[in-house]
Amino acid sequence: MTTPLNERRIANAIRVLAMDAVQKANSGHPGAPMGMADIADVVWREFLNHNPTNPQWANRDRFVLSNGHGSMLQYALLHLTGYDLSIEDIKQFRQLHSKTPGHPELGYAPGIETTTGPLGQGVANAVGFALAEKTLAAQFNKEDIQVVDHFTYCFLGDGCLMEGISHEACSLAGTLGLGKLVVYYDDNGISIDGEVEGWFSDDTEERFKAYGWQVLRADGHDADAIRAATVAARAESSKPTLIICKTIIGLGSPNKQGKEDCHGAPLGNDEITLTREALGWKEEPFVIPADVYTAWDAKAKGSASEAAWNDIFATYAAKYPTEAAELKRRVNGDLPAEFLAQADAYIAEVNAKGETIATRKASQNAIQAFAPLLPEILGGSADLAGSNLTLWKGAKGVESDPAGNYVHYGVREFGMTAIANGVALHGGFIPYVATFLMFMEYARNAVRMSALMKQRVIHVYTHDSIGLGEDGPTHQPVEQIASLRGTPNLNTWRPCDTVEASISWKSALTRNEGPTALIFSRQNLAFQTRTQAQIENVVKGGYVLAEEKGELKAIIIATGSEVSLAMEAYAQLDGVRVVSMPCAEEFVKQDAAYREAVLPSNIRARVAVEAGHVDYWWKFVGLDGKVIGMSTYGESAPAKDLFQFFGITTEAVVGAVKELTA
């Protein structure tokens, strides 16, 4: 039996905060918070294990609002349960520099676990949280003491389920048996354009059963039904659970509930007055009665839960001190104290070997060297492990060993990348994911989200240019590197040989303020000889690889496979220096003196060469310089023929320098 609407005072607090905040901002989405308030009431007050006084408590349950446009639902919950999110913060909804932006943004309000809004990515993040929890538990829990033991709860709507990424992520979640993932589907039948039956007629229940999920149904406005479904979801340990909650969007609004009118616009003052009457809510806007605050307050319960877990962890630390120290290190995101020295020793070894191999192979060698030192690495590839070369001798698939360190993601570039974002957000792991550079395009928005959220996710991309060869233009990336370089807070590395490849991996692993894209070749690349000083400068993103003979007249800038062309041109020219720029983002961060030393501003004769789109390089060569690269799509042919056909050759570089210095 559902309680009459005007008697649901506790849930109604969410409804009034949502409609008042949206009205004050004059923009936003009141419908979803009002429709999901009853579900949120049950989940947050009765099941969610969290501590508002310590939002970062390691063993908290994770909550993800995948339908992020309903952000006022989450802000109301955080405020009511006692997080550091005041009523003034709620009043500042959608305003500049507020803690309550239009969609939940990581780092703005305490208790926000991930940035959501691009539909479908929240649930994919939730799959990542659940995967991380299961893997970390398998790696650290003992038969007698469980120190990693928490659920991931996710709310989503019709839009999330229409997005293809939901299929990618949820299909894998079923295959991996992520039993601690509980998803509530706000089945209200409404999207921005109206009633969804005209464009979304899937049998969602059968779809998720086919993925290997437990599927339950509940009246989204009946607390008893929601409670019973949640108990059943938590009891099913081998399958994730989808609870299909039939709801009415904007419930409480007499004239707009059940309609698209309340989806993405304020209700209006007159309708809010009527809604208050329907809810039996007497208070002024942004006023919550003391007894309602008391009913919501989770601080005491949360502190007690964390204290109980601290006792369990203390017992664990006494009995298993090595594991406890390791778990703390990993959850804190710290690398082992000796890692940097070990990495530098490996780089020196690589330099001494001087191998001419594909940088994808150099990447695999780096993984083989670094992964045994970093048990927090959780690798993976979208079905191309044998081509991306992301497997290593100690790799163990989580599908067969829950304590493993590698995920076979299948052909799911977008899902894989968003799941990896969730893994990184959870803590305890550094994920890397891989595909061909061309198919970064499928993952593009999740790559952006890793950068937006400043997460240490390593995006490994191989087969990096027309050098891919015979597979042709569908598989040959042209504009992708420029797209990655244009992404704020993303470091993009395109190394030219084994030394640069190993340094790029070290940089990615040590960078904890954002993601890194590592771009590697299919074909063998010539080893370049360097001094120790040059090796130390590689990490700066750009450095002088070859000093000019005589007076400096021109500069050749190159990356990746084209560095060898630059060096061949260098051998034929005087007064020319070669600058290798494996990571332009790092180079531009260097001080002015260093940048001037590498690229003296008085030398205008500059040639950039890269087998990607030419447009990126004008900012380094100036409009009076020359760029040798691609401005069209590729062709199907052996790599050597393609470089010749598209004029990315030693001869072209020599000719460009001579023209500029004539």
* Catalytic residue list: 413
Is 516:508 a contact under the CB 8 Å cutoff? yes
Give the max Cα distance, the chain. Answer: 89
Q: What are the CA-CA distances from residue 446 to residues 166, 276, 413, 420 (Å)? A: 13, 40, 9, 9
Amino acid at site 341: A
Distance of alpha carbon 107 from alpha carbon 114, whole angstroms:
9
Is 83:141 a contact under the CB 8 Å cutoff? no
**Closest of 324, 419, 418 to residue 134, by C-alpha:** 419
Distance of alpha carbon 425 from alpha carbon 69, whole angstroms:
20
Distance of alpha carbon 431 from alpha carbon 456, whole angstroms:
8
Distance of alpha carbon 49 from alpha carbon 61, whole angstroms:
5
- Residue linked to tokens 């994730």: 240
Instruction: Tell me the sheet residues that pair with 256.
Output: none
Q: Is the dihedral of CA 201, 205, 209, 214 positive or negative?
A: positive
HSE toward the beta carbon, residue 64, CA cutoff 13 A: 35
HSE toward the beta carbon, residue 564, CA cutoff 13 A: 18
Q: Residue 322: CB partners within 8 Å, gap ≥ 6?
A: none
Residue 647: other Cβ atoms inside 10 A: 13
Structural tokens at position 163: 């997005």
Distance of alpha carbon 367 from alpha carbon 358, whole angstroms:
14
Is 221:281 a contact under the CB 8 Å cutoff? no
Alpha helices in 320-356 (DSSP H): 321-332, 339-353
HSE toward the beta carbon, residue 319, CA cutoff 13 A: 14
End-to-end CA distance of the chain: 88
Q: What are the CA-CA distances from residue 7 to residues 3, 246, 256, 280, 371 (Å)? A: 7, 20, 20, 7, 57
Q: What are the CA-CA distances from residue 142 to residues 21, 134, 317 (Å)? A: 47, 13, 12
**Closest of 586, 562, 565, 438 to residue 503, by C-alpha:** 586
Helix (H, G, I), strand (E, B) or coil at 247: coil
Q: What are the CA-CA distances from residue 45 to residues 16, 42, 134, 294 (Å)? A: 18, 6, 24, 11
Q: What are phi and psi of 129, to 5 degrees?
A: -60, -50
Q: What helix, strand, coil percent values describe the chain, rounded to 5?
A: 50, 15, 40
